[in-house]
Structure formats: C-alpha cells, structure tokens
Amino acid sequence: MVSRRGVVHDRLHVTPRAYRLPRVEEPASVASVHDVAAAVVERTGDVDTWKLQKLVYYCQAWHLVWHGCPLFSERIEAWAGGPVVRDLYERHRGQFKIQGWSYGDPGSLSKAERNTVKRVLGAYGHLSGRDLRRLTHSERPWRAAREGLGPSDRSSRIVDLDEIVDFYSGLIDDEAAVPVEEIPKREDD
C-alpha cells in the first residue's frame, strides 16, 4: 500500500534532523541544472527525456532534504507530463533520447552534489520515464502546483521548493511509505 505521502527508498534514508529545515531560498552558488543533467546522463547512458526530467527533479528534491539548499537554481514547472525544468527542456526539445549532455559539466558538481545524483539514480534509476511520470503525478508537490488545472492543461506554475522539502522530508519517517524498489516496472514501457 502506498501511503498518502508517497514512497521512500531505504537507500535514501537519512537520519532525520532534530530541527525543521529553514525556508529554502536560492543560495548565491548552486550548480546548473545542465551540470546535474550531464551527471545523470554520464551515469545512465542513453536516457529518454521524460526520465531525464524526472530524475533531475528527484535530485533537486532529495538534495533539498539532505542538505537544506537547492541543487540547482532553475525553476521546476508543473507541466501536464510532470515536473519539468524549462531550461533543460529548451535544450532537448524535439528529442526523445539523449545520448550525452554537452551543455553541462558533471565535474563542476561538488562531492555532495555528485553523491545526491548517485543516490537518486540508485533509488529511481530502474524506473522508466513513464513510471517516474506516474510517480510524480501521485505526489503532493506536483499535484499542489497543478491544483485547479485539468489533466492536460498547459501550465508554467512553479513546483514550490518548500512544498518539496515538506513532502520528501516527511517520507523519511513514514513507515507506511513504499520503498521505491518495490514499485513494479510496467511491462508496457
């Protein structure tokens, strides 16, 4: 059974902090979404654009929870197909598969940032782009940003970083949450 909060993965478990995370603002120095995408593609090899967008989203979400600051400064929008970073989309528009990402440098990520990418891919990397789309559609941050919109309505509404922190940090202690590895990969993908 999936809890109302969604899913969590054992490899993503961290010791909860004894204090509430501060309001998340964009710090002066963060990575570029293109550096994160390059790190994802470097680790996954060929990846479809839906999967790339969702993995980048999960990297941002978990980095916010684990480190209290954004991994990248670009905004995540609540599109009908799930969370999308427009800056990333503008570079892959019209493509289905990505073989490499020359717009970013994975080497520019800090050790903590590279570790976030590694842990997120270890948890979510086995899922297809469609599986990840279904997962993000079931989770509160995307749903809250899409409130009042129809399933196929266009939107550039921002997925709120505070909503992301609240939701994903809550998964850490939610014993009813289903581990990501228990989400079945659909055969139709």
Q: Where are the domains of the chain?
A: 29-175
Coil, strand or helix: which one is 74? coil
Per-residue pLDDT of the chain (189 residues; tens, 9 = 90+): 344 444 444 444 433 333 333 444 444 457 899 999 999 999 998 999 999 999 999 999 999 999 999 999 999 999 999 999 999 999 888 777 888 888 888 999 999 999 999 999 998 999 999 999 999 999 999 999 999 988 889 999 999 999 999 999 888 777 777 666 666 665 544
Q: What is the C-alpha separation between 163 and 168, in angstroms, rounded?
A: 9
**Contact present, 157 and 78 (Cβ < 8 Å):** yes
pTM for this prediction:
0.81
For residue 7, what are its two tokens? 């899913």
Dihedral pair phi/psi, residue 64, rounded to 5°: -60, -45
How crowded is residue 172: how many other Cβ atoms within 10 Å of its Cβ?
17
Q: How far is CA 20 from CA 23, 72, 96, 167, 168, in A?
A: 9, 21, 40, 13, 13
Q: How far is CA 1 from CA 6, 171, 186, in A?
A: 10, 14, 17
For residue 11, what are its two tokens? 């490899």
